[in-house]
Structure 1
Amino acid sequence: MANPRAFISFDYDNNVTQKNLFVGQSKSSKTPFSIEDWSSKSSLPQSQWEALIRSKIGKCNMLIVLSGKTMASATGVSKEIAMAKDQDVPVFGVYVDGANTTSILPSGLQRNRTISWDWKKIAAAIDQMMTEGKNK
């Protein structure tokens, strides 16, 4: 099987730097997955954005949420999590930007499925995602 595909969900207003670092590090890690940069490249009407993102999430094996300190205000992230769950796409989170187990998580992201930014833990989570949801 080819490397699993991951859709990266993040707070665009506050965590673009962490997303870029995560994507960059993933390319040189031994973690077996590929990240597609399927972010919307332009501002779209809400219904078009939702249709586009829903389609892109549906083409992935998992959704990885980069969960920063300001996730309570990231409504798009909560929508992406809901879209993934509607399509049986497994979801897990990675703490970024100083967030930790006391930080507010976006709606729909479980605390016990959110881990520190550690590539061994991320690889283990990816392996687990490949046994869940639509990947069974």
Structure 2
Amino acid sequence: MADPRAFVSFDFDNNETQKILFAGQAKTDSPTPFTVQDWSSKTALPQSQWEALIKRKIARTNMCIVLVGRFMSTATGVATEIAMAKELNVPVFGVYVDGAGTSSTLPVGLQRNRTVPWKWDVIAQAVNQMMGEGKNA
């Protein structure tokens, strides 16, 4: 079976570096292999086109992983991506990055009990759990 596919939602303005590192480490450091699809929008699009594009991309994945940074309250696109994943029955979990932790603001729609530290054994457990829950399992 192919590795599970993950859509990674992140604050483009503040956490692009963490997204690049996370995607690279997912290939080598995770005890549960999964593929991070680099489906970020490469250009600025009108809102309706962006939403349609992202929704199609999320629909082709097994899970949505939200990289939770320190400035999540300003990342409105992340909340939209979480809502899209939930609408499509794609399970969602978060990973704290960039100094964020259990007292950091979470984006709307992400549960605190589904947000984990950036430790690959813990992320692997979350990936396995999501694969048991998702529509594409």
TM over 0.5: yes
Task: Give me the whole-angstrom Cα distance separating, in 1, the residues matched to 2:71 and 2:134.
Answer: 28
Q: Secondary structure at the match of 1:105?
A: coil
Match of 1:47 in 2: 48
Check if 1:114 corresponds to 2:115. Answer: yes
| Paired residues, number | 136
Question: Structure 2: which 5+ residue stretches go unaligned?
Answer: none
Question: Structure 1: which 5+ residue stretches go unaligned?
Answer: none
Match of 2:91 in 1: 90
Normalised by the size of structure 2, how large is the TM-score? 0.97
Task: Give me the whole-angstrom Cα distance separating, in 1, the residues matched to 2:121 and 2:75.
Answer: 27
Post-superposition offset of 1:28: 1.2
Normalised by the size of structure 1, how large is the TM-score? 0.97
| Aligned residues: CA RMSD | 0.9
Runs of 4+ in 1 over 2 A off after TM superposition: none
Q: Do the aligned partners of 1:129 and 1:135 also contact (CA within 8 Å) in 2?
A: no
Q: Secondary structure at the match of 2:108?
A: coil
Task: Give me the whole-angstrom Cα distance separating, in 2, the residues matched to 1:105 and 1:24.
Answer: 24
Q: In percent, how many aligned pairs have the same letter?
A: 67
Q: Do the aligned partners of 1:66 and 1:94 also contact (CA within 8 Å) in 2?
A: yes
Within a 5 Å distance, the mapping from 1:1-136 to structure 2 comes to 1-29=1-29, 30-135=31-136
